[in-house]
Amino acid sequence: MKLSRRRFSQTLAASAAATVAPTAFASVAGDASLNGKLLKTLKIGMVKVEGGLVKKFEAVKAAGFDGIEMNAPGMDVAETKKAIAETGLPVDGTVNSTHWQVRHTDPGPDVRARALESLKQALRMTHEVGGDTALLVVGHGKDGDEEEIWKRSIANIEQAIPLAEKLKVRIAIENVWNHFLYDHQGDSSQTADKFVRYVDELDSEWVGMQFDIGNHWKYGSMGDWIRQLGSRIVKLDLKGFSRAQNKFTKITEGDLDWADVRKALLEIKFQGWAAAEVGGGNLDRLKEVSANMDKAFGLTPKA
């Protein structure tokens, strides 16, 4: 029987994460917490530790994280593989390193061709180091009206889907402040409708969302966005945000409704990776971020 796109994505997310860390998903029957359902990761740019990549990976592991996200293109694949082998810390995915400057929504066909090649390179590099997602910001609203940039970016990104399927690496679209796929006038009752329609139009098991908890708290309920996006969410990003002060904060600071976020994630049966995207630092700061993630998700800290 053929699985639906969303059901397939949800199954794939669970199986891929379990492959990376099988013991991390052993959960207690009847446990209503997120324990055993999430793996913690973070962005390589957050790791401000002296030394080479091995030292950085060692610090990330010591801070209590289960994986790390690299940047691609631009990642040194050989060095990354060495760091994985020496530390046992997996690379769960990558962030496209050019998506803000070289955009799939750009009016220039040559620029869009470069954006497509960058995405394909990211998919290849992610596969080489064992990751399963390549995070992508699809473009920017300043590149035209919504209909124009919608069509341009869909047409461009769908050309990378056959490669994503071949390599078994998902294209993970992030919700960001790019004036596209949301109404940015500041109305805090907005929904995820446009992201739902956009992902569904790409119509592939290999395209989902790396949903950023925090980026759009000023525009709507993050719990409700999670419920609406459902199994389209293949990974999470997180940061804190204060509506009262209109600024990003440390995780668990600000006024984001983490209790409802946890409830919504349980309702959609999310299982997989959650990536911190906040100010980083040395080992002590990384331990603080890890502890804040435990608090936000109600996780039991590692012994």
pLDDT digits (tens, 9 = 90+) for 132-153: 999 999 999 999 999 999 999 9
Q: According to CATH, what is the number of the domain 5-21+38-297?
A: 3.20.20.150
- pLDDT, residue 23, reads 32
How many other CB atoms sit within 10 Å of the CB of residue 299? 21
pLDDT at 24 > cutoff 80: no
pLDDT digits (tens, 9 = 90+) for 207-265: 999 999 999 999 999 999 999 999 999 999 999 999 999 999 999 999 999 999 999 99
**Residue 26 phi, psi (nearest 5):** -75, 110
- pLDDT, residue 302, reads 78
DSSP letter for each residue of 114-144: HHHHHHHHHHHHHHHTT--EEEE----GGGS
**Residue 73 phi, psi (nearest 5):** -65, 165
Burial pattern 155-168, b for ≥16 Cβ within 10 A else e, equals ebbbebbebbeebe
pTM of structure? 0.90
- pLDDT, residue 187, reads 82
How many other CB atoms sit within 10 Å of the CB of residue 187? 11
Instruction: Show Cβ contacts of residue 143 under 8 Å, excluding neighbours closer than 6 positions.
Output: 103, 105, 106, 107, 149, 152
- pLDDT, residue 32, reads 56
- pLDDT, residue 184, reads 85
User: With bands split at pLDDT 50, 70 and 90, how would you rate the model's confidence at 16?
Assistant: very low
What is the mean pLDDT of the segment spanning 65-90? 98
Q: Please state, in angstroms and rounded to a whole number, the distance separating the CA atoms of residues 53 and 58.
A: 9
- pLDDT, residue 286, reads 98
β-strand pairing of 247-249 with 91-96:
unpaired
pLDDT at 51 > cutoff 60: yes
Could you tell me if 69 and 92 are in contact, meaning their C-beta atoms sit under 8 angstroms apart?
Answer: yes
pLDDT digits (tens, 9 = 90+) for 177-218: 999 999 888 788 899 999 999 999 999 999 999 999 999 999
Handedness of CA 202, 277, 134, 262 (dihedral sign): negative
